[in-house]
Amino acid sequence: MPTNPDFRYKEAEKQYLQASTPEEKLRALERMLSLAPKHKGAEKLRADLKARIKRLREKLDAEKKKAKARKARAIKKEEMQALLVGVANVGKSSLLASLTNAKPEISPVEFTTQEAMPGTLFFEDVRIQLVDMPPVTSDSFDKSMAYNTDLLLLVITSPEQLQEIEKRIEKSRAKRLVVINKIDEISKDKLNSMVVWLKTKGYSFVLVSAKTREGLEELKQRIWLSFGKIRVYTQEPGKEPSEEPIILEKGAVISDALEEIREGLSKQVKEIRLSGPSAKFPRQKVSLSHELADRDIIEFSLR
């Protein structure tokens, strides 16, 4: 017996053949099933449609679970975190590769970055987590990360892109640093115009090229300074200062540093000597309330 589907079914079938995404295919298949004839001759057709719908739903569910797992991994935040945020093809992945130990896929094809890619930026003796985000216009872009991060690096090659980015992250309270990338490809007049516009808008910015590496060292320093932190080192008598610093907020005092080492340590200290920028002279004797500066060195003895 012929199935004899009507013109509406054929139109839905045409939509299925033209669909470019699994979601569009699923909607078309569901419409085809609703429009398929219900007589005995169409039983095989309806069974086939149901099987195809089931397989496609299972595939979509599996992809959603994978995306959720990727998202859960992506939002694991370290002590200092900066996100590379921008539209497609502004060179975020190239910057990540140039600044960190990460090896992201780099391609001129739009939306190559489909999930957050972390890397570690080493600046002098500190480590900073740098994350390349999917384009802000992509469904894969995780706004929650932008809301919870410390620093947003807004990567652009034109002012219009910055306006598009700001629309997507306007609720984020994170600090912002605009990174004009690909300066080796931007005309001098256009670059000067962008600089004037950014100054007018009050943005903090830096000019770089991931390709030629111009401006990358300045960018590293600006990233570190954006966190508003200080580095403090400890030293045992007669030995060299520790290689790894304690990272503290600006305005921190000696007791904050000691408590960062071990809770309750500040109550066990007998004497504290300080060398470095905030000391009047090397190994100055100071109190627990002494305010620290970047690169100070603390030497202490216990009761």
Would you say residue 84 has pLDDT above 50?
A: yes
Among 41, 79, 89, 74, CA closest to 141: 74
Segment 68-76 shows an average pLDDT of 55
DSSP 131-147: EEPPPTTSTT--HHHHH
In this structure, are residues 300 and 287 in contact, taking their beta carbons and an 8 Å threshold?
no
Assess if CATH 3.30.420.10 describes domain 229-302.
no
DSSP character for 18? H
Q: Which CATH number fits domain 7-73: 1.20.58, 3.30.1460, 1.20.1550, 2.30.29?
A: 1.20.58
User: What confidence tens digit (pLDDT) does each residue in 249-293 have?
Assistant: 999 999 999 999 999 999 999 899 999 999 999 999 999 999 999
Q: Which CATH number fits domain 75-226: 3.40.50.1820, 3.40.50.12780, 3.40.50.300, 2.60.120.10?
A: 3.40.50.300
Number of C-alpha atoms within 13 angstroms, CB side, residue 83?
A: 29
Among 143, 144, 162, 150, CA closest to 90: 162
Burial class for 162, CB neighbours closer than 10 Å (0-12, 13-18, 19+): buried
The domain limits of the chain are 7-73, 75-226, 229-302
**Predicted structure pTM score:** 0.71
d(CA 248, CA 21): 48
Segment 81-93 shows an average pLDDT of 92
For residue 121, what are the CA distances in angstroms to 15, 97, 126? 48, 10, 8
